[in-house]
């Protein structure tokens, strides 16, 4: 028991150190309204191991002390991270498959809609409509598996990576058609968010094909939601921007950090059974 506790403390310390270092190394994009805090990719770890929760709390505390936006960020930022870590931990233990699948599909739909909004501002022309249709077509594999057969034959599984590659190509082709803005930040965020939606859809498809529990797609959700709405509650006042604008920007940054960066890390760690 003592060795187990020591291992957990060591893991928590490692997570705290890595979180703080990543936040400071990428400081220009780790704080403020326009942020993609790379360290937030680690917030998916409680899905696999509860010891990561205190590590994330301490890491966020250190990062916000050294480079944050004042005492509100120092107090509430780590608390939000702590609550998000606890929720992520329990997300990995949900047993209601239907509820989990509905939530996972909702997240994918939200990411797709957010990407279309960032790239087009919902100002549609024949070009952007074509791009929207193409981007949606890139997500069709998950729709096929969702409303089609859950149990598919070996041939379908063998063609999975071909299907995934085609989806990625479709998504990439749709981006120039969707682009209606000149803001480089929004263009990058919108593109990454669209790729995140595609990656999540493909991941969910793979989970269904192999009859695995889909809860892993919910692991990044608590830090995304809590940071978007919670951090914005004090950050908007500090910087002097509209609250809902802050929610959008923080939310997009969190989606990129947690889904584009964090979800692949989580899949690799679980596949290799790193934490047992």
Q: Tens digits of per-residue pLDDT, 26-36?
A: 999 999 888 89
Tell me which of 47-56, 107-116, 237-246 is least confident.
107-116
* Residue 198: φ, ψ to 5°: -65, -45
- 221-243 pLDDT, tens digit per residue, is 899 999 999 999 999 999 999 99
Q: What is the DSSP letter of 122?
A: T
This prediction has a pTM of: 0.82
Where does 235-276 show beta strands of DSSP type E? none
Per cent of the chain over pLDDT 70 is 88
Contacts of 168 (CB under 8 A, 6+ apart): 138, 195, 198
Cα three-residue angle 58-254-96, rounded to 5 degrees: 90
- 156-190 pLDDT, tens digit per residue, is 566 677 777 888 888 888 888 887 767 777 888 88
- 54-90 pLDDT, tens digit per residue, is 999 999 999 999 987 889 999 999 999 999 999 999 8
Read off the tokens for 257.
């950090």
Alpha carbon distance 24, 151 (integer Å): 46
Alpha carbon distance 12, 47 (integer Å): 14
CA distances from 206 to 43, 83, 114, 231, 234 (A): 23, 29, 23, 33, 39
Q: At what angle do helices 243-255 and 232-239 cross, to 10 degrees?
A: 120
CA distances from 144 to 140, 204, 226 (A): 6, 11, 31
């Amino acid at each position: 028991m003592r060795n187990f506790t020591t291992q957990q403390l060591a893991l928590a310390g490692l997570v705290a150190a890595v979180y703080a270092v990543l936040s400071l190394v990428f400081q220009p994009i780790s704080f403020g309204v326009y942020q993609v805090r790379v360290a937030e990719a680690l917030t998916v770890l409680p899905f696999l191991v509860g010891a990561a929760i205190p590590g994330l709390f301490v890491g966020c505390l250190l990062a916000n002390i050294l480079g944050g936006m004042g005492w509100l960020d120092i107090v509430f930022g780590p608390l939000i991270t702590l609550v998000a870590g606890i929720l992520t931990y329990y997300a990995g233990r949900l047993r209601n498959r239907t509820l989990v699948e509905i939530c996972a599909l909702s997240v994918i739909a939200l990411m797709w809609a957010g990407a279309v909004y960032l790239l087009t501002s919902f100002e549609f022309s024949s070009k952007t409509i074509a791009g929207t249709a193409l981007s949606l077509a890139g997500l069709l594999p998950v729709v096929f598996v969702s409303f089609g057969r859950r149990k598919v034959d070996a041939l379908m599984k063998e063609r999975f990576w071909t299907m995934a590659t085609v989806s990625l190509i479709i998504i990439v082709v749709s981006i120039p058609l969707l682009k209606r803005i000149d803001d480089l930040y929004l263009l990058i965020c919108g593109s990454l968010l669209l790729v995140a939606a595609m990656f999540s859809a493909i991941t969910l498809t793979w989970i269904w094909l192999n009859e695995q529990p889909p809860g892993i797609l919910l692991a990044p959700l608590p830090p995304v939601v809590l940071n978007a709405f919670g951090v914005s509650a004090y950050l908007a006042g500090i910087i002097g921007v509209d609250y809902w604008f802050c929610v959008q920007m923080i939310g997009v940054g969190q989606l990129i950090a947690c889904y584009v960066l964090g979800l692949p890390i989580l899949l690799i760690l679980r596949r290799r059974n790193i934490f047992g």
